Chain A
């Protein structure tokens, strides 16, 4: 694990951004020195003025970009999760592996699984919190993106699961059907749809409830077609969902 991974993502982004400006400043300084030595004083002055304005702008611009990408209130929530989740990470991953092994009549090697936690996030547009999902574990299986990704609650089969509080599934028979329905039915833009695992064909979202409120979604997908809903054993999944709920509660995540 790199040292940077210990730094909160907002701060990490801010440091990297400042580093970029610093490197640009150093390179510009070098050119100014060369130009001065060659007695191109006007050109050296122009570069120096440009660097001065860029430095002033950086203080404003970097903050704006950082706030847009990582709103401070959202980041606080994520930092808190990043501190609490590791304590139960192993148990959660084991639970997901157990869930995969309860699937019937399919090749579990083609199945990937993760957990999406419902959180309130703040967009840079206003101060109103909105529901979203944070992927708190890396996928158990060969596909899928890395954790800490945020998905708005309006998107995907997990968003549908949030709205219905029921298990939800979807199957796509071809990549064309995937591209069409991900946009028409699941709220993604065509670009977002293409950024996800396009070889997946069958999806399952299972609600994790606490006192009848949805707190998280167990999310499974397979590259094998038509796996869900038939492969899912609802009784086992409900039991796993209760266990996940207890783990999240005990770790103070909820």
Chain B
């Protein structure tokens, strides 16, 4: 059972406003990177959930292998079609070296870490690209302090009103860059950019308002997501 099983059935519902806001930021952040996906070869979507490679990167879903450690996430319907679904954790990937031309990990805070990034580097072909997004440290640090939860935990409130605490890694952009280098990526092939909520988004989660208030800035001026593009 994966940790996110407990929230799988409702993770994609509109009631989880913060997640939906992050979707908007991710969509906008990754739009310029569509052309960076290699035109051929397999794509591994790590922590896929119901799959978002087509939505975020406009790729052929027949190239996509969806991997998640939550059986309930992999069973969600509706979902993006794919070549194969694999039930497995992200810390060690069950694939040979150089199997994929592209690896994606959208909002990968649930499983990102040195081991996971090292594995992503290992399964990428030479010249292959890792494209990912991660909730920003700037957003999460003040929010989690305010909520009284640990830095490496997030909290969901489910449909029944119960609070659920789940693993979620927050790291600064500079540490993320160091981690990618330790994982094997060359420094000059790593790009990390910071992204904010598009001003077209009118319904904003209270969990974005809170840190914006702490930092005395508008919700549209707060860095919410890091976008990662790293080429092997």
| Interface positions of B from 101 to 156, Cβ below 8 Å from A | 111-116, 118, 150-152
Tell me how far the C-beta of B187 lies from the nearest C-beta in chain A, rounded to whole angstroms. 12
Which of B91, B115, B178, B181 has the most chain A CB atoms inside 10 A of its CB? Answer: B115
Binds B, one of A63-71, A80-88, A221-229, A238-246: A221-229
Which of B114, B151, B183 has the most chain A CB atoms inside 10 A of its CB? Answer: B114
- Residue B182 CB within 8 A of the other chain: yes
| Interface positions of A from 202 to 233, Cβ below 8 Å from B | 202, 223-227, 229-231
Tell me how far the C-beta of A207 lies from the nearest C-beta in chain B, rounded to whole angstroms. 22
**CB-based nearest B residue for A224:** B152
One of A105, A173, A174 near B114 (C-beta < 8 A): A105
Per-residue A-contact encoding for B171-192, CB less than 8 Å = 1, 0 else = 1000100110111000000000
Tell me how far the C-beta of A155 lies from the nearest C-beta in chain B, rounded to whole angstroms. 24
- Residue B167 CB within 8 A of the other chain: yes
Tell me how far the C-beta of B190 lies from the nearest C-beta in chain A, rounded to whole angstroms. 12
With A226-B114, A230-B183, A231-B114 in contact, do A105 and B152 touch (Cβ < 8 Å)? no
| Interface positions of A from 127 to 146, Cβ below 8 Å from B | none
Q: Are A201 and B152 in contact (CB under 8 A)?
A: yes
- Residue B81 CB within 8 A of the other chain: no
One of A174, A199, A225 near B113 (C-beta < 8 A): A225
In the assembled complex, the Cα of A225 lies from the Cα of B151 at a distance in Å of 11
In the assembled complex, the Cα of A179 lies from the Cα of B63 at a distance in Å of 38
A interface residues, tally (CB under 8 Å): 19
**CB-based nearest A residue for B116:** A226
Q: Are A226 and B113 in contact (CB under 8 A)?
A: yes
Q: Are B114 and A223 in contact (CB under 8 A)?
A: no
In the assembled complex, the Cα of A199 lies from the Cα of B153 at a distance in Å of 10
One of B3, B150, B181 near A223 (C-beta < 8 A): B150
Residues of A within 8 A of B171 (CB): 107, 224
- Residue B212 CB within 8 A of the other chain: no
- Residue A104 CB within 8 A of the other chain: yes
Residues of B within 8 A of A104 (CB): 178, 182
Residues of B within 8 A of A (CB): 3, 89, 91, 111-116, 118, 150-152, 166-167, 169, 171, 175, 178-179, 181-183
Some 18 contacts from A to B, beta carbons below 8 A apart, are A105-B114, A106-B114, A107-B175, A171-B115, A173-B89, A173-B91, A173-B111, A174-B3, A199-B152, A202-B113, A223-B150, A224-B113, A224-B152, A224-B169, A224-B171, A225-B113, A226-B91, A226-B114
Residues of A within 8 A of B (CB): 104-107, 171, 173-174, 176, 199, 201-202, 223-227, 229-231
